Amino acid sequence: MKIRSEWDTLKEVMMHRPGIEIEYAMLSPRPFLFERPFRTSVAIKEHMNLQETLEKNGVKVRILKEEVVSKADENRAFRKALEDKIVNMVSFYGSVESSRAAKEQLKKNVSMFDSSTLFYTLTLEPSIDLKKENGNSVEYPTIYSNIPLANLYFMRDQQAVSSGGVIIGNMKRRQRIKEPDITEFIFRNAFGEDNLVRISGKGLFEGGDFIPAGTFCIIGVGTRTNMEGAMQAMNSGLVNFDEVCLVENPVYDFLEEDRDPMVNMHLDTFFNIAADGVAVTSVELCRKAKAIIFGKSGNEYVKTIETTLFEYLKGKNFNFVNLSIAEQMSYSSNFLTLKNGTIVAVNAPIVLKKLLNLGVFPDNLQTAIKQELTSVEEKNLFPFSKQVKENGIEIIVVNLSELTGGYGGAHCMTAALKR
C-alpha cells in the first residue's frame, strides 16, 4: 500500500458502511462531532451510491465489515485474534464474583458468535453492569457503550497511506481515539500489511491532514494534527518525498475571535488537489496558511524556508481554483481525485441550501455566506463553476447531502489504499 500523489489513478479504497453506531449520534449530534442530524436510511443509500460510482470508474472498494467478516469466516488465525480483541474490549461491572464469572462466560461463548456480531461489538464497545435484585437469582444487566464509533465512516482520518507505507494516526478527540486501533488491527491481521508505523505519545496525526503531491507532500497542523505528530510522520521512514510542507491550518479573519474548530478541522476541509498543478482551495486561507518547508538531506529532513502555502505552490507553478466561503463550508474541497483531472465531488449547492435552511452556521458565518450569494447564483458554485471548466477538471457529482451531516465529503469517507 503506497501512494505517491493525489492525482495518480485511484485503484483501491476502503469504506465503512454506517451502521447502528450512527443512530446514537442522531440523538445528540454535536457531542458526537456531527454537524447536524440527518436521515440515516437516506445516508446509507448515498454511501452505497458513492461506492457504486467508484466501482464504475475502476476503483476496487473494500467495505470494512465485509473484509472483517469474510476474513474471520475463512481464516482461523484472524478469527482467533478478533475473538481475543473482543474479550479484552468488553467490560463487566458488578460484584467481583459476578463480573469475573461473566467474563469467563464470554471467553467460553465467543467462539460461537457470528463474525458479524464480533464486528458490531468492535464499533459499539459495550460494557455490561450486572445488578442483583431482591428475590431474583438472575442478574439484571444495564448496557453501556463507550462512545459508539459514529465517525468510523470517515475512513480517511484513522491513517494515511504515503509513498512508503501506512501511517497509523493518533486521534485527538476521545470520540474517535479507538478508531486507529481497529484499522491497525485490520491492516495487520486481515490485509497482512506490516509496512506501517503508528504515531504515539503526545503526537497527534489524522489522515485528513495529509496530501501527497509527487515530489512533495503537505501535512496540515491544527486542531487535529499537532506539530509533534506531523514531525513523527515526516520522520517515520515512510514519507519519501523531496520536500515536506508543514502547514498551519488557517481560519478566516472574521472568525479569529470565536473560532469553530470544525471550520478548518483538517487540511482537506479547505484544500485539495484535482490534477497535477491544480489546487482547489480558498485562496484567502491559502495565503494565510503559514508553511515550513523541510528538504531531504540524506536520510533526514531539514528545515529550509518559511513561507505560505500559496507562495509555496505558486513557486511550483500551481494554478488555483478559488473557493468562496460558501463553497468551502459546503465541502467543495473535500472531493476525491480519481485520476489526473477527474474528481468525485459533492453537489455543493444542494448541501449549502440544506445548511442555510437548517441554520447550522454561527451568525457571523451565515451572514458572510449570504452576502456572497448576492453576487453569484447557487447553480454556479463549485463543482459547476467556470474556474473548474477553465482548468480542464472533469467532475463526477454525487449527492451526499445527508452523509455530510457528519462533517465530511467523499475525500473524508474513503481511505485511499492504492494509486
* In-domain check, residue 414: yes
pLDDT at 263: 66
266 with 313, same domain? yes
Verify that 97 and 208 share a domain, yes or no.
no
Taking the C-alpha atoms of residue 41 and residue 64, their distance in angstroms, rounded to an integer, is 19
Say which residue the cell 444487566 belongs to.
141
Residue that terminates a domain, selected from 125, 145, 165: 145
| Domain presence at residue 99 | yes
pLDDT at 363: 86
Domain count, the chain: 2
| 380 and 233 co-located in one domain | yes
Pair 222, 154 in one domain: yes
Say whether both 187 and 294 belong to one domain: yes
Pairing type for strands 136-145 and 91-93 reads unpaired
Domain check: are 209 and 315 in the same one?
yes
Is residue 258 scored above 70 in pLDDT? no
- Domain span at residue 136? 68-145
Tell me which residue of 166, 312, 184, 156 sits closest to 233, measured CA to CA.
166
Instruction: pLDDT band for 316, please (50, 70, 90 cuts).
Output: very high
94 — pLDDT class (breaks 50, 70, 90) = confident
Residue 141 shares a structural domain with residue 155:
no
Phi, psi (rounded to 5 degrees) for 3: -135, 130
Q: Tell me how crowded residue 163 is: count the other CB atoms within 10 A of its CB.
A: 15
Q: Is residue 2 domain-resident?
A: no
Given 104, 124, 145, the domain boundary residue is 145
> Is residue 259 pLDDT above 80, yes or no?
no
Which residue among 145, 160, 191 closes a domain?
145
Nearest to 191 by CA among 110, 111, 75, 17: 75
Same-domain status, 242 and 130? no
Question: What separation in angstroms does the CA of 235 have from each of 167, 174, 219, 229?
Answer: 11, 26, 12, 10
* Single-letter amino acid code for the residue at 113: F
250 preceded by a cis bond (ω within 30 of 0) = no
Average pLDDT over residues 321-330: 94
Q: Same structural domain for residues 269 and 393?
A: yes
264 with 375, same domain?
yes
**Same domain, residue pair 52 and 77:** no
